[in-house]
Amino acid sequence: MNKDNYTAKARFYLDFLCNVKPNRRTGSLGNRDATDFFANTVRAYGYEVDATPFECLDHICNGAILSQEEAYEVYASPYTMGCDALAELIAVSTIEELENIDCEGKILLIKGAICKEQLMPKNFVFYNPEHHQKIIALLESRKPAGIITATEKKPEQAGALYPFPLIVDGDFDIPSVYCKDIVGDILAITHGLFRLKIDAIRISSRATNIIARLNSNAPRKVVITAHIDAYEGSPGASDNASGIIVLLLCAQMLSDYRGENCIEIVALNGEDHYSAGGQMDYLKRYGTEMPKIMLAINIDDVGYKIGRTAYSFYECPLSLEKKAEDVFLRFNSLASGEQWFNGDHMIFAQNQVPSMAFTSERMADLMKTVTHTSLDTPDLIDCYKLVEVAESLNALVRSI
């Protein structure tokens, strides 16, 4: 198949993945449609497919209202519990103030310095700094009726969202909303009773990783991953339909592979979910196979129409880096890039597995403008660039 045909196929995949309903959030119907589509596509190329489901939490929200004499613009935190509270509002801006406040039964406004970093979910195992754990523990011990978090723009943490939710955690049971920092400043000097109403419900659900293998009994394997889920409310074209498309194209290109290694192509499900459920399930079921992996490659946010695709290395011997560089020199749309440490490649790199990551060299621009928003649409993606990434991986896998 020539590049034009692969490019047309990539456009078809992109249109499908960005239009499942309601979206590709882990646990949703659209997410299941996406994983079914992926499984059926790679199965047709002769791969053994493991689609074992895991338990997860889905969330349905119909909005939030904060009002006094007037309504204030607030948004329900992802995975929050619902509530209908009428209470006094009290504000804190530091951990020290939170330690010393009595806010039981009140509406707690969190603003300022304490809101500088999006809090890690309380049971998130990959990264969970002590001061985040302390804030969560203090909030739970203070027992407010509801929480308002006032946040500024932080693209390096939360993408283009403004405001961004400080709390994204289905294991945290105090109802919460978030608002812009300027709204928080107004609320902090407004006295009287406030009504906070959140119309939301948590739903037990299931999702699945899709793990496709060729030559599954081989003693060593090459693993290629991308996350198939998307952030709530986002079509997720660059984040990360583009990466999934590369996997699908690569699966087709490698379908005639008869080398000595196992090829494992993995659509992980949960990179944008608070629980990282798919990543945890993969480690639970296949973590003992880490020593078999000769190279793990993760693809996220590739194909942006501006700029090239950047690759980076983690825990790789120099000989492997040199071999990969020699392959990638054949592709004009690829360039060496800086390391980044918040993608699924870190699952492998933290276990000393030689790893690579592919992303847009303009990832910082994407994070500031479209990531995790409704603006992450298919028109941002150059499908020809996706074909080139897949071709480069096809060539690399056959060379090692």
For residue 300, the model assigns a pLDDT of 98
Q: Is the pLDDT of residue 1 over 80?
A: no
Q: Is the pLDDT of residue 243 over 90?
A: yes
> In the chain, which residues fall in CATH 3.40.630.10?
3-52+209-399
Q: Is the pLDDT of residue 304 over 80?
A: yes
For range 214-219, the mean pLDDT: 96
pLDDT grade, residue 278 (50/70/90)? very high
For residue 156, the model assigns a pLDDT of 78
> In the chain, which residues fall in CATH 3.50.30.30?
59-204
For residue 125, the model assigns a pLDDT of 85
For residue 195, the model assigns a pLDDT of 98
Fold of the 3-52+209-399 domain? Aminopeptidase (3.40.630)
pLDDT digits (tens, 9 = 90+) for 76-129: 999 999 999 999 999 999 999 999 999 999 999 999 999 999 999 999 988 899
For residue 336, the model assigns a pLDDT of 97
CA distance 151 to 159: 13
> Where does 59-204 sit in CATH, by number?
3.50.30.30
CA distance 159 to 240: 13
pLDDT digits (tens, 9 = 90+) for 140-199: 999 999 999 999 988 877 788 999 999 999 999 999 999 999 999 999 999 999 999 999
How much is the mean pLDDT over the chain?
97
Residue type, 41: T
Q: Mind spelling out the 3-state secondary structure of the chain?
A: CCHHHHHHHHHHHHHHHCCCCCCCCCCCHHHHHHHHHHHHHHHCCCCEEECCEEEEEEEEEEEEEEECCCEECCEECCCCCCEEEEEEEEEECCHHHHHCCCCCCCEEEECHHHHCCCCCCCCCCCCCCHHHHHHHHHHHHHCCCEEEEEECCCHHHHCCCCCCCCCCCCCCCCCEEEEEHHHHHHHHCCCCEEEEEEEEEEEEEEEECEEEEECCCCCCEEEEEEECCCCCCCCCHHHHHHHHHHHHHHHHHCCCCCCCCEEEEEEECCCCCCCCHHHHHHHHHHHHHHHHEEEEEEECCCCECCCCEEEEEECCCHHHHHHHHHHHCCCCCEEECCCCCCCCHHHHHCCCCCEEEEEECCHHHHHHHCCCCCCCCHHHECHHHHHHHHHHHHHHHHHC
For residue 93, the model assigns a pLDDT of 98
For residue 160, the model assigns a pLDDT of 87
Identify the residue with better confidence: 27 or 69: 27
pLDDT grade, residue 69 (50/70/90)? confident
% of the chain beyond a pLDDT of 70: 100
For residue 302, the model assigns a pLDDT of 98
For range 260-284, the mean pLDDT: 96
For residue 158, the model assigns a pLDDT of 78
Contact 21, 32 (CB under 8 A): no
pLDDT digits (tens, 9 = 90+) for 305-323: 999 999 999 999 999 999 9
**Residue 49 CB neighbour total at 10 angstroms:** 15
